[in-house]
Structure 1
Amino acid sequence: MDHWVVVPEQPGFVGDRTVVDTATLPPTVERAHFVFTRQPTDGLIGAGPLVLVDRETAEALEDNVFGEV
């Protein structure tokens, strides 16, 4: 069985306007606010409960790995 380890780039931090419901597992992100501190170099970005992907990465993940992003 193949396994994938996905480590998102972290070119910033979760902003204070992010709204997350931590009563659910996994947490439900109602509104995302991500503050970039540098230009991202990857199509996969993560910090805290947020995972952001660009369109090209989302399409590749949907086509090859996860089914829906």
Structure 2
Amino acid sequence: MRYFYIEPEVSGELGEGTLMDTTVHPPKVEKLNYEFSSWLGDDLIESFPCYIVSERLAERLKKSDFSGFDFDEVEVTKSSEFDEVSTIKHLTKFYWLKVEGKPFLSDIAISEDQRLLVSEDLLTLMNSFHLNYADIELFEG
């Protein structure tokens, strides 16, 4: 099985409502607030060390047999400049994609260098959604 790195669209940052322990690396996030400054429409979004997915991608993943993840609630907010710079004005519902898998033993995991690593089969499914602004690279380890 081949694996790929995905570096998703970054549409904002962790908001003021995020609760996390920054004394460890990567920081351990207890509560996630994602504050959008813009959005280009991708179904997978990142702000280190967290990932969020659109409701439609989350629903498809929940029905799948893929391993290495769970979902949780995310508080989504917009920055003051969002409406000025974003061509998409309405945000869909998002879920926090909690990546819990082990590299090469799960379909999704965090690599040693803290990048998102997915199996080829999971990437195939994800590519049927919008990943237009994600950088995807074959793992060659």
> Gaps spanning 5+ residues in structure 1: where?
none
Of Structure 1 and Structure 2, the greater strand share is in 2
Q: CA deviation at 1:23?
A: 6.0
| Number of positions where the alignment pairs a residue of Structure 1 with one of Structure 2 | 69
Structure number with greater CO (CA < 8 Å, separation at least 6) is 2
Change in CA separation of 1:41 and 1:59 when aligned onto 2, cut-off 3 Å: same
Distance in 2 of aligned mates of 1:6 and 1:22: 24
Change in CA separation of 1:24 and 1:57 when aligned onto 2, cut-off 3 Å: farther
Structure with the greater alpha carbon radius of gyration: 2
Distance in 2 of aligned mates of 1:6 and 1:24: 23
Q: Map 1:12-31 onto structure 2 (within 5 A).
A: 12-22=12-22, 27-31=27-31
Segment of structure 1 superposing worse, 41-50 or 24-33: 24-33
Percent identity over paired residues: 32
What TM-score do the two structures reach when normalised by structure 1?
Answer: 0.69
Segment of structure 1 superposing worse, 11-20 or 56-65: 56-65
Distance in 1 of aligned mates of 2:59 and 2:2: 20
> Gaps spanning 5+ residues in structure 2: where?
71-141
* Aligned-residue CA RMSD (Å): 2.4
